[in-house]
Chain A
Amino acid sequence: MSALPRAHELGLIGCHVCGQVCRDTQIEDAACPRCGSSLHRRKPYSCVRTWALLIAAFIFYIPANVLPIMRTASLGDVDDNTILSGVIELWVKGSPDLAVIVFTASIVVPMMKFLVISTLLLSALRGTNWARRQRSMLYRLVEFIGYWSMLDVFVVALLTALVQFGFFSQVEPLPGVVYFGLTVILTMLASQSFDPRLIWDCKEDDD
């Protein structure tokens, strides 16, 4: 046993919902005495669920980027914007600093989530010792910044409600924004269903 004992080595389980330290009774569907949630040593089917959600998110991510998310019609001039062209427009005409923020929220963050979560999954499956502290950190980062990707969805919704001049000009949401919203939700669910404890579930030789 190393200097830093882990819960299963001491016959303990930490409740995933309320954090209560419980004795591991080895009963199949034990419940937390404090909050009543069922106790698990690890999140059930963590890898399978995370893979499924991540792949689903990636499938939605393709139309989210290819299809336009917003139509701006002004005096007969129709202009369809995808996520990327919206960023470019903001860069060219408006303010480059905001363009950087939008670019980060709607392109860098989702991409990073796909990369990070699949790296975490693959390395957890192989049970490697490689860069475990850094992998933990990456996981926490993804959890923390994940929901900021909703930014673009809210922008489209706001502009739609705001620019409604009927004949003169109008902003309409297009299907891309729906796919993008679903991508964000699915990646959030994927990162929540990944169990970071798996990163540390391997032989302890060099710590």
Chain B
Amino acid sequence: MSTPPAAVEQAQKSMSSTLMICEHCDTVHHRRPLARGEVARCARCNAVLERHQRIGLDAMFALVVTVMVVFIQANVWPIITLGLNGEEIHATLWGIIIMMWKEHSQVVSVLAAATLFFFPLCKMGILGWLLIFGRKGQRAPGFVPLMVVLHYIAPWTMSEVFVLGVLVSIVKAQLYFDVTPNIGAFAYAALALLITIFSGIDLHQLWDKLPAESTS
């Protein structure tokens, strides 16, 4: 990739602050500042173009740290406990992944490990790293490639689906056994709530809020 001359870059930047292109239908729109709670929609296809971002970089960082703490809890503690004749069996996330590997469903094991552990972990780690520098108004080292990675892994984190899976499993297992949700299950429920808050945050804003010149 070649660096464009300064003039071109200047033109690009002014264009990007006044124009935006709907990523669903390629319609070019004029950009204007949004008031609190406002959502800009494409006049052609009605897709959301931009939301007013109520949460600043500091609050975003706080949210990422919270998600990390909850994520650790969700992984450390057992999710469901099954009791039978005084014996207790705990299922943790990694217990599930390892068990599926042993039971000849390696595909499922890899899917679960990726969508419930590695991708969420990468996403939070990268965001945390970008925001540590972002709060100071700087671009973190590796900002550009990391933002691209974030774009690609975003659709592949499935913790919120897992929460529903826990609920269904409890009901199903309850037909035959005595099962109780454990701390991990509640941590996952909290995680699902936090992810819902997160889904309203447009990460594209980091590109605009942290312009290239501010690289440390």
A residues engaging B (CB < 8 A)? 4-8, 10, 12-14, 16-23, 31, 33-37, 74, 89-90, 93-95, 98, 101-102, 105, 132-133, 136-137, 139-140, 143, 147-148, 150-151, 153-165, 168-169, 172-173, 177-178, 181-182, 185, 188, 192, 196-197, 199-200
A133 adjacent to B46 (CB under 8 Å): yes
A155 adjacent to B168 (CB under 8 Å): yes
Q: With A4-B44, A173-B103 in contact, is A185–B111 under 8 Å at CB?
A: yes
- The answer for the CA separation of A192 and B24 in the assembled complex, in Å, is 12
B148 adjacent to A36 (CB under 8 Å): yes
Chain B residue at minimal CB-CB distance from A41: B26
B147 adjacent to A35 (CB under 8 Å): yes
A163 adjacent to B177 (CB under 8 Å): yes
List A contacts of B24 (CB < 8 A). 136, 139-140, 196-197
Q: Of B1, B19, B162, which one neighbours A12 at CB under 8 angstroms? A: B19
B151 adjacent to A14 (CB under 8 Å): no
Please give me the 7 A-B residue pairs with the lowest Cβ-Cβ distance, nearest first.
A14-B21, A154-B165, A136-B45, A158-B169, A31-B1, A161-B96, A161-B99
List B contacts of A133 (CB < 8 A). 44-46
Whether a CB of chain A sits under 8 angstroms from the CB of B80 is yes
Q: With A8-B26, A151-B168 in contact, is A196–B12 under 8 Å at CB?
A: no
A153 adjacent to B111 (CB under 8 Å): yes
Q: With A35-B148, A136-B47 in contact, is A101–B96 under 8 Å at CB?
A: no
List B contacts of A151 (CB < 8 A). 161, 164-165, 168
A137 to B: closest C-beta gap in Å:
7
A17 adjacent to B95 (CB under 8 Å): no
Q: With A33-B12, A155-B165 in contact, is A150–B158 under 8 Å at CB?
A: yes
**Can you sample 11 A-B contacts with CB below 8 Å?**
A12-B21, A17-B151, A21-B21, A34-B144, A36-B145, A93-B175, A150-B161, A155-B172, A157-B112, A160-B99, A181-B108
Q: A147-B156, A173-B108 are in contact. List 9 more A-B contacts (CB 8 A).
A: A7-B26, A21-B19, A36-B148, A147-B155, A148-B161, A151-B164, A160-B96, A160-B100, A196-B45
Whether a CB of chain A sits under 8 angstroms from the CB of B39 is no
List B contacts of A159 (CB < 8 A). 169, 172-173
- The answer for the CA separation of A14 and B171 in the assembled complex, in Å, is 47
User: Size range of the interface on B?
Assistant: 35 or more
Q: With A90-B172, A101-B164, A154-B162 in contact, is A177–B25 under 8 Å at CB?
A: no
B158 adjacent to A147 (CB under 8 Å): yes
Q: Of A16, A94, A165, A192, which one neighbours B155 at CB under 8 angstroms? A: A192
List B contacts of A18 (CB < 8 A). 147-148, 151, 204, 207
- The answer for the CA separation of A168 and B82 in the assembled complex, in Å, is 14
Chain A residue at minimal CB-CB distance from B104: A173
B161 adjacent to A172 (CB under 8 Å): no
Q: With A95-B171, A147-B155 in contact, is A153–B108 under 8 Å at CB?
A: yes
Within 8 A of A (CB), among B150-196: 151, 155-156, 158, 161-162, 164-169, 171-177, 179
- The answer for the CA separation of A20 and B12 in the assembled complex, in Å, is 8
- The answer for the CA separation of A12 and B16 in the assembled complex, in Å, is 11
- The answer for the CA separation of A34 and B19 in the assembled complex, in Å, is 15
B197 to A: closest C-beta gap in Å:
17
Chain B residue at minimal CB-CB distance from A172: B103
List A contacts of B103 (CB < 8 A). 160, 172-173
